[in-house]
A and B are shown apart, each in its own frame.
Chain A
Amino acid sequence: SQELEQSPQSLIVQEGKNLTINCTSSKTLYGLYWYKQKYGEGLIFLMMLQKGGEEKSHEKITAKLDEKKQQSSLHITASQPSHAGIYLCGADIGSGSARQLTFGSGTQLTVLP
């Protein structure tokens, strides 16, 4: 079962437009991670959020974790073709001693030049 719900599943935007990707959990998130993946390659770490209300930015990408720590959003300002790829949110779930890192279904972003 998918513990993390991502939306939208795919997104096509014109270069220069802003966009937002959402990641929602039914449980409290104690660590939320955003990754980006180019087609056919491994995942590249973008940002990690841990505290409710936390917001981090890197270049034109901003990620937020809401106060209740059950939803995160990734916002891209003035999108560029280099932003295209699959964006995945990941989180730690489970209560055992082993760390169980699970991911959402991903958002496929296409940026049209």
Chain B
Amino acid sequence: DVKVTQSSRYLVKRTGEKVFLECVQDMDHENMFWYRQDPGLGLRLIYFSYDVKMKEKGDIPEGYSVSREKKERFSLILESASTNQTSMYLCASSKTSGRAGFGPGTRLTVL
């Protein structure tokens, strides 16, 4: 089964801080995704990657950046956290097609 882990389940940061969210998968998947989830809005795609060092913008990339230096690891970076980035962040990975496996999520609060 797909195993996707995220570095933290809960995180509290202050406005203006730089925040790193890490995601690791153990299935040698090509594709990795970062989403944020807010009530009534479902999952919105922030960034995705189909290979090492490759990244594509999703629907809401503003205020975020990503890094994929190794195939198994996909990091989401908030350069300067703001209160409107308080949300649940979910990472996923998949092969070229087919089901995606999800991590447990990181609930980020920005004060």
Contact = CB atoms under 8 A, between A and B. Distances in A.
Interface of A: 1-2, 6, 9, 31, 33, 35, 40-45, 48, 88, 90, 92, 96-106
Contacts of B101: 45
Interface of B: 4, 31, 33, 35, 40-45, 48-50, 54, 56, 58-59, 88, 90, 92, 94, 96-105, 107
A42 B102 contact: yes
23 contacts: A33-B100, A40-B107, A42-B104, A43-B92, A45-B100, A90-B43, A92-B97, A96-B56, A97-B50, A98-B56, A99-B96, A100-B45, A100-B58, A101-B31, A101-B45, A101-B92, A101-B94, A102-B59, A103-B35, A103-B42, A105-B41, A105-B42, A106-B43
A6 B4 CA distance: 26
A12 to B, nearest CB: 16
A43 B33 CA distance: 13
Contact of B48 (A9, A101, A105, A106): A101
